[in-house]
Amino acid sequence: MPRAGWVKPQSDQRLSDHISVGVLTRVFPPELVDRVVAEAERAEVRHRLLPARVVVYYVLGLALFSQASYEEVMRELTEGLSWASGWAQSWNVPTKAALFKARVRLGPEPLRALFAEVAVPLAAEQTRGAWYRGLRLMSIDGTCLDVADTPANDAEFGRPGSGRGEGAGAFPQARVVGLAECGTHALTAAAIGACTTGETTLARDLLGSIGEGTLVLADRNFYGFELWNAAAATGAQLLWRVKAGLVLPARERLADGSYLAWLREYDQRRHRMRDTDVAVRVVDYGLDDPGRPQAEDLYRLITTILDPAAAPAAELAALYPQRWEFETTLAELKTHQRGPRTVLRSKQPELVRQEVYGYLCVHYAIRWLMHAVALEAGEDPDRLSFTRTLRAARRTARSHPGFSPSRTGRRPRPRAPGDPGRAAP
Q: Which of left, alpha, beta for 177 (phi over 0: left; psi -120 to 50: alpha)? A: beta
Which residues make Cβ contacts (< 8 Å) with residue 330, sequence separation at least 6? Answer: 141, 143
pLDDT value of position 272: 52
**Does some domain include residue 326?**
no
Range of the domain at 93: 15-116+344-399
For residue 67, how many C-alpha atoms fall within 13 Å in the half-sphere facing its CB? 8
As to burial, measured by CB atoms within 10 angstroms (0-12 exposed, 13-18 middle, 19+ buried), residue 247 is exposed
Could you give the 3-state DSSP secondary structure of residue 139?
strand
**Does some domain include residue 46?**
yes
pLDDT value of position 423: 36
**Does some domain include residue 359?**
yes
For residue 249, how many C-alpha atoms fall within 13 Å in the half-sphere facing its CB? 3
Instruction: Count structural domains, the chain.
Output: 1
Could you give the 3-state DSSP secondary structure of residue 176?
strand
As to burial, measured by CB atoms within 10 angstroms (0-12 exposed, 13-18 middle, 19+ buried), residue 44 is middle
Measured between alpha carbons, how far is 398 from 23 in angstroms, rounded to an integer? Answer: 10
pTM of the model: 0.84
Measured between alpha carbons, how far is 366 from 371 in angstroms, rounded to an integer? Answer: 9
**Does some domain include residue 240?**
no
**Does some domain include residue 3?**
no
pLDDT value of position 43: 78
Count of other CB atoms within 10 angstroms of residue 212: 9
**Does some domain include residue 241?**
no
Which residues make Cβ contacts (< 8 Å) with residue 230, sequence separation at least 6? Answer: 204, 207
pLDDT value of position 80: 46
Closest CA to 20 of 74, 66, 77: 77
- Give the residue ranges of the chain where pLDDT is below 70: 1-22, 45-49, 79-92, 162-167, 266-276, 289-296, 397-425
**Does some domain include residue 84?**
yes
**Does some domain include residue 348?**
yes
